[in-house]
């Protein structure tokens, strides 16, 4: 069973369409299922049938950890991983059935994404002391994340050759190696150029790489490092909410739609394959519009009292 798992993971590596995190998630999910099969006395993937799968789902629902019962999103992800794994076994190993094929995952309610209001974003970005090299880097980092709606993985992977200062665009390689071009505004350009000339140039030393955002040793930042820097600044400002990097991406999309941007334009800027993924931000804007209406319209206000 472990041999087939390794063959599948090698296949994923050859496809080169997912991140390291995706591969690790596949491995964890398959290992978890193998452990369950061992407890049930099942010694082969071929022995797995619909009843075993339903018992597995029941066992997932009974699990609990520090955060409570396993979330529907986690269960759905495990089932999706195993469905893909069995699809591979069907096509390349010769196993005939895919017991996960017609098993419906738990219903997942779409969460409204967390975002910062514009005045909160402005306060955060203006809070850095630009006389300090570290603050100058952080301002440029977070300004660019908000300017372009970047994922944290995209900003730490950004290279000098990805930046076109003449046209003021970034060339981004997103999930699944999908390419997109995202413009940035003048303020982001100014902050980025100042960081590159005044800070990065002195920190890079003799290292030969083109990673844009680096630490004082000349090494590239990590995703966790960016998360830490963001939360540290939020705490220093006394912000009561938990800030995370994806919140800047959510804010980017929400603010664009609030100011009249076309949904398909926002989809293109975010690099979403499906328009439905982008549409959740419309719900955010509509909800804010509704609340503003209730607060402002005299008859609507009267009904609330």
Q: Would residue 21 show up in a list of annotated catalytic residues for this protein?
A: no
Q: How far apart, in Å, are the Cα atoms of 203 and each of 86, 115, 130, 155, 220?
A: 49, 33, 16, 18, 11
SS3 259: coil
Q: Would residue 272 show up in a list of annotated catalytic residues for this protein?
A: yes
Q: Would residue 180 show up in a list of annotated catalytic residues for this protein?
A: no
Q: What proportion of the chain, given as a percentage, has pLDDT over 70?
A: 82
Give the closest residue to 116 by CA, choosing from 288, 270, 278: 288
Catalytic residue, from 281, 290, 293, 301: name it: 281
Q: Would residue 77 show up in a list of annotated catalytic residues for this protein?
A: no
Catalytic residue, from 5, 244, 246, 288: name it: 246
Q: Would residue 246 show up in a list of annotated catalytic residues for this protein?
A: yes
Total-model pTM: 0.61
Rounded to whole angstroms, how far apart are CA atoms 302 and 129? 46
Q: With b meaning 16 or more CB within 10 Å and e meaning fewer, what string describes 209-242?
A: eebbbbeeeeebbebeebeebbeebbeeeebeee
Catalytic residue, from 175, 194, 219, 244: name it: 175
Rounded to whole angstroms, how far apart are CA atoms 159 and 103? 43
Catalytic residue, from 139, 151, 250, 255: name it: 151
Domains along the sequence of the chain with CATH: 2-93 (1.10.150.130), 118-295 (1.10.443.10)
Q: Would residue 281 show up in a list of annotated catalytic residues for this protein?
A: yes
In this predicted model, what pLDDT tens digit does every residue of 23-82 receive, in sequence order? 888 899 999 999 998 998 888 888 888 888 888 888 888 876 655 667 777 888 888 889
Spatial CB neighbours of 267, under 8 Å, sequence gap ≥ 6: 275, 277, 278
Catalytic residue, from 137, 249, 250, 255: name it: 249
In this predicted model, what pLDDT tens digit does every residue of 221-268 receive, in sequence order? 999 999 999 999 999 998 877 888 888 988 888 888 888 888 788 888
Partner residues linked to 68 by β-bridges: 65
Rounded to whole angstroms, how far apart are CA atoms 155 and 112? 24
């Amino acid at each position: 069973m472990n041999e087939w798992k390794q063959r599948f993971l090698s296949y994923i590596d050859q496809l080169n369409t997912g991140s390291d995190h995706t591969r690790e998630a596949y491995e964890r999910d398959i290992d978890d299922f193998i452990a369950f099969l061992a407890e049930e006395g099942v010694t082969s993937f071929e022995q797995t049938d619909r009843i075993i799968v339903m018992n597995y789902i029941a066992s997932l629902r009974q699990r609990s950890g520090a955060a409570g019962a396993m979330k529907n999103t986690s269960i759905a992800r495990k089932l999706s991983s195993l469905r893909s794994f069995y699809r591979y076994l069907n096509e390349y190993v010769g196993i005939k059935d895919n017991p996960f094929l017609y098993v419906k995952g738990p219903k997942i309610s779409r969460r409204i994404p967390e975002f910062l209001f514009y005045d909160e974003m402005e306060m955060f970005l203006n809070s850095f002391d630009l006389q300090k090299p570290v603050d100058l880097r952080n301002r440029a980092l977070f300004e660019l994340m908000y300017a372009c709606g970047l994922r944290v993985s995209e900003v730490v992977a950004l290279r000098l050759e990805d930046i076109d200062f003449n046209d003021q665009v970034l060339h981004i390689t997103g999930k699944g190696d999908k390419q997109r071009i995202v413009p940035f505004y003048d303020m982001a350009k100014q902050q980025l150029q100042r960081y590159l000339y005044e800070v990065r140039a002195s920190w890079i030393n003799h290292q030969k790489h083109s990673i844009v955002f680096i630490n004082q040793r000349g090494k590239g930042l990590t995703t966790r490092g960016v998360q830490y820097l963001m939360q540290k600044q939020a705490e220093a400002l006394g912000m009561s909410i938990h800030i995370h990097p994806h919140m800047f991406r959510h804010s980017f999309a929400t603010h664009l739609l609030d100011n009249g941007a076309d949904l398909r334009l926002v989809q293109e800027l975010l690099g979403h394959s499906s328009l439905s993924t982008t549409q959740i931000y419309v719900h955010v804007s509509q909800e804010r519009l509704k609340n503003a209406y209730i607060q402002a319209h005299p008859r609507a206000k009267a009904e609330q009292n």
